[in-house]
Amino acid sequence: MTMPNQKHSSRQLQYLEAMGINLWVSRDFQETDIVADVIESKIDIEPELLLEEPESSVDLPQIMTEQSTDQPKNTLDQLRQEVSVCQKCQLHSERTQTVFGVGNSQSNILFIGEAPGHDEDKQGEPFVGRAGQLLNSMLFAIGLRREQIFIANILKCRPPNNRNPLVGEIEQCIPYLKQQIELVNPKVIVVVGRVAAHALLNTELPMAKLRGQQHYLPETQLPIIVTYHPAYLLRSPLAKQKSWEDLLMLYELDKNLFQSK
């Protein structure tokens, strides 16, 4: 697989090594765009490294930082307000607040997870806590920052005791997600976790058959990449290598994803 035409900082290499990922080291980009050499890690990195916030001083590619002037303003804000008072299912009765989504609303890349957990319900933001920190580290390893993408969930309210969403809850909530997809208008969706993949792709295939290949959103044929949920990776660290391979598919899909629309 290929990687973007950029140099990795020593910090990024440390994140890759700490994840147990073979490092892809740049050769001469004047001759080739492929980062080809694989080396073994020889640096002892503490496990907590994956839960650290990446340093803000690293120069990373910009996906999209300016709002488009030809699109109506506050449309996502209006949808956020609608979601905040939603009572379509019983989850509203126990929530602290809704978890709408966060990030760059003009990004080419949209990450979609399952549902808010305890930390997300308290903070009103998807993918916080240890799983969110691991996601940040995974993004950083491929040259992205959390604020450069948009992140949302299938459900906007936390299920009790973090149980899996019920079919009825998904049916009531997924229209909000479909509107988010339309408004953000990404070029690719990255779905993390089995539940989210099943809901968005209308399938019951296991993760082993869903990841490693390109899918399409049924309504619009928007490309979709499926990978493991960071919470699963915390429980099953050997799967990190497969998740890394999934993230590299972003470059195989379209090398312009890291540029403006």
Segment 23-51, tens digit of pLDDT: 444 333 332 232 323 223 322 334 444 55
Q: What is the mean pLDDT of residues 164-171?
A: 96
pTM of the predicted model as reported, rounded to 2 decimal places: 0.78
Residue range 96-124: mean pLDDT, rounded: 96
pLDDT of 123 over the 70 cut: yes
What pLDDT does 68 receive? 40
Is residue 245 within 8 Å of residue 22, measured between CB atoms? no
Lowest mean pLDDT segment, chosen from 95-99, 139-143, 169-173, 253-257: 253-257
pLDDT at 28: 38
What pLDDT is attached to residue 19?
59
Domain ranges of the chain: 64-253
pLDDT at 72: 44
Which is higher by pLDDT, 156 or 2? Answer: 156
Q: Which residue has the higher pLDDT, 43 or 130?
A: 130
Give dist(CA 12, CA 142) in Å, integer: 8
Question: Per the structure block, which two tokens stand in for 209?
Answer: 């058959």
Please compute the mean of the pLDDT values over residues 96-120 and round it to a whole number: 96
Q: 17-21, 42-46, 194-198: lowest mean pLDDT where?
A: 42-46
Higher model confidence: residue 176 or residue 53?
176
Domain over 64-253 is classified CATH 3.40.470.10: yes
More confident residue, 214 or 258: 214
The pLDDT-based confidence of 70 (bands split at 50, 70, 90) is very low
Which band of pLDDT confidence, cut at 50, 70 and 90, is reported for residue 257? confident
More confident of the two residues 251 and 180: 180
Of residues 13 and 124, more confidently modeled = 124
For residue 31, give the DSSP letter.
Answer: T
